[in-house]
Homo-oligomer: A and B are copies of this chain.
Amino acid sequence: MIVAAQPAGFADVRATNLAVVLRHVRGNAPCSRADIAAATGLNKATVSILVADLIRRRLLRETGPSGHRVGRPSTMLGLDGEPYVAVGIEVGSDQLTAIAVDLPGTRLLSWHRSFADHAASPGRAVAAIVALARRATAHLTRQGRQVLGLTVAVPALVDGDGVVRHSPSLGWHNLDLHGELATALRKPDYPIAVDNNANLAILAEQRYGPYAGPANLAYLASDTAISAGIVVQGHLLRGSRGFSGAIGHIQVMPDGPPCVCGRRGCLEAVAGIPALIRRALPEADSGPRRSDLAPDLQEIQRRAKANDPSTVEALAETGRWLGYGAALLTNLLNPDVIILGGRFAPLAPWLLASAEAALTARAVAPHAGGCRIVASTLGAGSAALGAAARVLDQIDAGHLPEPSSSAAHPRI
């Protein structure tokens, strides 16, 4: 008899198969037990046992009989998962964004809080993040939801232990954000993670965006910091220590304008949102750590819609530099799609043409190796959304939650 090599233990196989069934229903609901058996290669009796377990855990539910089949109607299954929510908090230069989603993908809250005053002091920043996380958790728990985890997205190089090693835009270095959050939240009964914002934004695109299909994609941007999230063959590229995607401080203009990192002519210094504001609104306050960038960005958008020539040219110039960054990604990685996100997404109508032209001119491969630049459709806070998605991805990986008593018996 020939059997597959390296069989896993019984418990591992069961967790894997539960996750296989759950992922199948997420991608194909409504579907019957027989559909699942046919698609996964598991036998029908096994599928029934697994489905019963997933229903008990409130991850699946029966949605009624199939209406359009030959023969006896099957009971169809859909995602439940409503008791389970994940919280993501994105740390931007001028604001905090908290987003909570449940397992089926419904956004339960989307909060923004001013942050600039706190950025200078890591202690005050941690306090502000903790306060927001507590309010969000309390709000969700009152609704009978069970919080599965919290991920905090930061514009920074973050190591595997959740230590912020280097964040030029926040001015943080070797800050054990994970440890400080865990202490301040008094070790909550859910896991906490800290991760790079572009990595999390591209996870959101994979899970919720229309560009989830391509196996090779990259995300360029963020808030005011610029970094890249990179997906290779469907998997996030993290590098050996988690420091991948640091495109923002690659020098693109020798002796260019000074950058928050202390160097000159970095991509972020010429293509970032503060540089755009300086270019388009020379009269505006142009400090690197502004309290609220939204009014200036709205003004730029208003002028661009009115076809103001100098605004349109300022945006085109920003687009050219973003295209330069896209060409770096294309030449090294040959992705199918580069997604422009963060604060650039709403400005994309005035950025994309010049970005595509710069990409084509600087890409070594003809026609940029087939790469397109597109705008994210996920709206503001996609890194916060990805931060929540990172928690939910743990379920797909086989770490299945048990309903708590409060979640199993929500308030009536």
Please give the residue numbers on chain A whose beta carbons come within 8 Å of chain B beta carbons, in ascending order.
1-8, 10, 13-14, 16-17, 20, 40-43, 45-46, 49-50, 157, 165-166, 168, 214-216, 228, 230, 232-233, 235, 237-251, 253-254, 261, 327-329, 331-336, 362-366, 369-371
Contacts and interface: CB of A to CB of B under 8 A. Distances in A.
Contacts of A366: 165-166
Contacts of A369: 157, 239-241, 243
B332 A247 contact: yes
Nearest to A50: B2
A205 to B, nearest CB: 16
A331 to B, nearest CB: 4
B2 A17 contact: yes
User: Counting chain B CB atoms within 10 Å of each CB, which of A2, A235, A237 scores highest?
Assistant: A2
A8 B4 contact: yes
User: Counting chain B CB atoms within 10 Å of each CB, which of A4, A242, A364 scores highest?
Assistant: A364
Nearest to A218: B332
Nearest to A245: B332
Contacts of A240: 214-216, 334-336, 369-371
A251 B362 contact: yes
A170 to B, nearest CB: 14
A2 B331 contact: no
Given A240-B216, A250-B328, A329-B332, A364 B157 contact: yes
Contacts of A168: 364
Contact of A166 (B10, B365, B370): B365
A7 B332 contact: no
Contact of A333 (B46, B237, B364): B237
B364 A331 contact: no
A3 B332 contact: no
Contacts of A1: 43, 45-46
Given A216-B239, A239-B369, A369-B241, A6 B41 contact: yes
User: Counting chain B CB atoms within 10 Å of each CB, which of A261, A327, A331 scores highest?
Assistant: A331
A261 B10 CA distance: 57
A301 to B, nearest CB: 30
B7 A239 contact: no
A228 B332 CA distance: 8
A246 B365 contact: yes
Contact of A244 (B241, B247, B332, B336): B332
Contacts of A333: 230, 237, 239, 244, 332
Nearest to A267: B331
Given A216-B240, A328-B328, A332-B247, A42 B365 contact: no
Nearest to A11: B2
A397 to B, nearest CB: 14
A54 to B, nearest CB: 13
